[in-house]
Structure 1
Amino acid sequence: MNVETISKLATVLAHIDAARTSAGVIEGLSPFLHLFGLRHLLIARLPRTDERLWPRSVLYDGWPEEWSAHYTTSDHFSHDPCVMQCRISGKPFLWSELSRSRMSAKELRVMEEATEFAMLDGVCIPVYEPCKAPAVITVAGDRIALGRNDLPVLEMVSIHAFRAVQQLRGAADEPAQKKLTNRERDILAWTAAGKSAEDVGCILSISKLTVERHLSNIREKLDATNSTHAAIKAILRGDIHL
């Protein structure tokens, strides 16, 4: 990688880092993607549970508007071979690298119909993070010019943009976490260790009723259905440790 290339990459990353909105991140990323003929960008998580609600997991939709609507109404998400590949591999890949001979009729339909919307080929960059559904950065165009040596660089810049978008969206969209008090953390930690409300009361020298009232408050703060659910959420947040 020569000095000129490094300088260009530094400029792109600097624009992404300076962005204060998700749109600003995309504005910094787009000129870099255009160098490879990549005109259409989608950033989304890949939920497994209720796939019909997958549009809620989209972080940025830069697909052609008509294709985005058609993709959703046709339930293409459930049969998209790119989605399936992202779930079994963390490596970036070109759409054209997927074996058409192994695709079902519905999978082939997804790929063939994409070409009708100026998306003849593209790249998928899977993103895996702890305790979260996998995500994908998909970029496509009607005439892309991307060599194998370009793929690692594209991956690096795209994931950098993904993290910036995620951070900005999180700051703007997610409600502030309700903090647990020290007493609530103690009670939940003992509960997670298998102690009953009565046991916890004895350990902490408070009544069983007080323990149960604290547990009710904890479940409300963490939006948990029961104490086990609350304990798991608290562990993931780093509030308690086992």
Structure 2
Amino acid sequence: MRKHVRAVRDGVEDTVFPHSDRVPKTPASMIGERLGEMARRTGHSYYLLAAFPRGDRAGFAVNCLATNWPQEIIDFYEDADLFYCCKLVNRLKRSVMPVFCDKAPFESTAANQENPGLVKLFRTHGLKNTFAFTLHDADLRQYIFAFSGDRAKASRDEAMAQVFLAMEFLEMFSQDYPVERPSESLSNREIECLRWSAAGKSSEEIAIILDLSSHTVVGYLKSAMRKLDSVNRMQAVARAFRYRLL
């Protein structure tokens, strides 16, 4: 199981997940205190801060940055691997507005993946209703803020205030999470070849467009794949998009 840092504050444990590319400089207790304050302002008991799941970073463990969820739920949800396809994330993909979910928001959208045990576990610990929204920081990294408890839907003014507090939080703490970059810089030609590959062009077609030999194009693409630690062109293109190279 992935290691994480837990800090006890007012009898409640906050969990911050350190990654090789997402190691927070700010103490876990400070991050948890700020997020805890935001949760309490709207009468919620729990908070979750996560990177928005995308491409080859879809799981809960790799995206969860900080939460005060009970450890039992964290362990269960890491194993269930439902975060990227849960109802809450699905709704946030289709709206720029905050959403309120009162019916198993962290359960999968697929009928064949419904898990009554998971729903019961969340409700047993008091995560009945969830208010959530997405924000991006100055580097355009997208985050999910989710606040859970048993309170009813927040008013418009409460929701607006909560979103603004989250913006202030990102302004203060997002610098703790460095921008993801490939291990080596890609050349302009490598990026050009990836861009045309993303457009569906074959090596031969890219060679004609860029006035190169197909052998040279293949060489550029292989070099780009190596630098992006990818096993094929599709994965290289996905990672190039994630690194905002395309």
**TM-score using structure 1 length:** 0.58
- Over aligned residue pairs, what C-alpha RMSD do you find? 4.9
**Map of 2:166 onto structure 1:** 158
Task: Give 2:62's match in structure 1, choosing from 46, 56, 64.
Answer: 56
Conserved? CA contact 2:104–2:128, under 8 Å: no
Q: Do the aligned partners of residues 112 and 94 (structure 1) sit closer, same or farther apart at CA in structure 2, a change above 3 Å counting?
A: farther
Q: Do the aligned partners of residues 195 and 157 (structure 1) sit closer, same or farther apart at CA in structure 2, a change above 3 Å counting?
A: same
Q: Flag the structure with larger Rg.
A: 1
Is residue 28 of structure 1 aligned with residue 34 of structure 2?
Answer: yes
* Structure 1: unaligned runs, 5 residues or longer: 1-18
**Map of 2:8 onto structure 1:** none
Question: What displacement does 1:220 show?
Answer: 1.4
Which structure dedicates a bigger proportion of its chain to strand? 2
Task: Give 2:91's match in structure 1, choosing from 79, 85, 92.
Answer: 85
**Map of 1:220 onto structure 2:** 226
Q: Distance in 2 between matches of 1:124 and 1:114?
A: 16
How many corresponding residue pairs? 212
**Map of 1:140 onto structure 2:** 148
Which structure dedicates a bigger proportion of its chain to helix? 1
Question: What displacement does 1:137 show?
Answer: 1.4
Q: Distance in 2 between matches of 1:79 and 1:176?
A: 27
Conserved? CA contact 1:40–1:64, under 8 Å: no
Task: Give 2:133's match in structure 1, choosing from 98, 110, 125.
Answer: 125
Question: What displacement does 1:148 show?
Answer: 3.1
Q: Do the aligned partners of residues 22 and 146 (structure 1) sit closer, same or farther apart at CA in structure 2, a change above 3 Å counting?
A: farther
What secondary structure does 1:170 align onto? Answer: coil
Q: Distance in 2 between matches of 1:191 and 1:85?
A: 30
**TM-score using structure 2 length:** 0.57
Conserved? CA contact 1:46–1:134, under 8 Å: yes
Is residue 115 of structure 1 aligned with residue 123 of structure 2?
Answer: yes
Question: What displacement does 1:127 show?
Answer: 4.5
Conserved? CA contact 2:53–2:84, under 8 Å: no
* Structure 2: unaligned runs, 5 residues or longer: 1-23
Q: Which range moved further: 37-46 or 76-85?
A: 76-85
Is residue 69 of structure 1 aligned with residue 94 of structure 2?
Answer: no
**Map of 1:41 onto structure 2:** 47
Question: What displacement does 1:157 show?
Answer: 1.9
**Aligned-residue identity in percent:** 21
Q: Do the aligned partners of residues 78 and 190 (structure 1) sit closer, same or farther apart at CA in structure 2, a change above 3 Å counting?
A: closer
